[in-house]
Amino acid sequence: MTLQKLVEFKAKYPGAINLVELQQYLKPGQIDYKIDEYIDKAER
């Protein structure tokens, strides 16, 4: 679900995802929660 949300966000806002910044959110055991947090931050 989170991966789908990330792909849809990228399709809607090309260039809005910074992979270097996203890498900071990839923590073991919290990946879904952290990716959702990153998407929310990027939408603002």
Per-residue pLDDT of the chain (44 residues; tens, 9 = 90+): 788 888 898 899 888 888 898 888 887 777 788 888 888 888 88
DSSP 2-42: HHHHHHHHHHHSTT---HHHHHTT--TT-HHHHHHHHHHHH
Break the chain into its structural domains and give their ranges: 2-43
∠ CA 28-32-38, nearest 5°, is: 100
Beta strand ranges found along 1-44 (DSSP E): none
Kindly tell me the burial class for residue 36, based on how many C-beta atoms sit within 10 Å of its own C-beta (0-12, 13-18, 19 or more).
middle
What pLDDT, on the 0 to 100 scale, is given for residue 28? 79
